[in-house]
């Protein structure tokens, strides 16, 4: 919390990414929707809502967070779609000690969406 007892937030938007598929009726290539990432922060720590999907987006987001001068304390994943969690490991590597939160149902759906599943914590892959 800040000195006056409030939290602040900033939003970063990751731009459009090309998507597979036939051209649109106007001839343009299809794109994924832009992604928004919300950073909720007090004077020294921050929480991120929904990491991005690509390595490049994750690196840009990490640079943006670092430039804020806050310690990334936690990440919250709102739901199981890959464009809301896939960059989590890159952020965890960049910000050691970050804690990741998601509902149990979200974790289950993420696990089910990964071919071959996810090994138990501490297990070799």
Query: What's the pLDDT tens digit per position in 14-27?
Result: 877 777 788 888 98
Residues 53 and 87: beta-carbon distance below 8 Å: yes
CA atoms of 51 and 89, how far apart (whole Å): 9
- Residues 80, 83, 86, 92, CA torsion sign: negative
Query: What's the pLDDT tens digit per position in 81-102?
Result: 777 787 888 999 999 999 999 9
Query: What's the pLDDT tens digit per position in 48-80?
Result: 999 988 888 999 999 999 999 999 999 999 888
8-17+32-113 adopts what CATH topology? Answer: Metallo-beta-lactamase; Chain A (3.60.15)
Domain boundaries, the chain: 8-17+32-113
**Can you give the pTM of this predicted structure?**
0.76
Write the DSSP symbol of residue 24.
P
Query: What is the chain's Cα-based Rg?
Result: 16
């Amino acid at each position: 919390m800040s000195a006056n007892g409030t939290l602040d937030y900033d939003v970063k938007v990751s731009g459009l990414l090309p998507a597979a598929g036939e051209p649109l009726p106007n001839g343009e290539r299809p794109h994924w929707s832009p992604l928004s990432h919300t950073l909720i922060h007090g004077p020294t720590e921050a929480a991120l809502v929904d990491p991005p999907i690509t390595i490049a987006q994750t690196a840009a987001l990490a640079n943006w967070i670092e430039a804020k001068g806050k310690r990334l304390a936690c990440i919250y994943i709102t739901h199981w779609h890959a464009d809301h969690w896939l960059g989590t490991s890159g952020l965890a590597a960049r910000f050691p000690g970050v804690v990741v939160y998601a509902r149990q149902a979200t974790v289950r759906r993420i696990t089910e969406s990964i071919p071959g599943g996810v090994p138990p914590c501490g297990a070799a892959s």
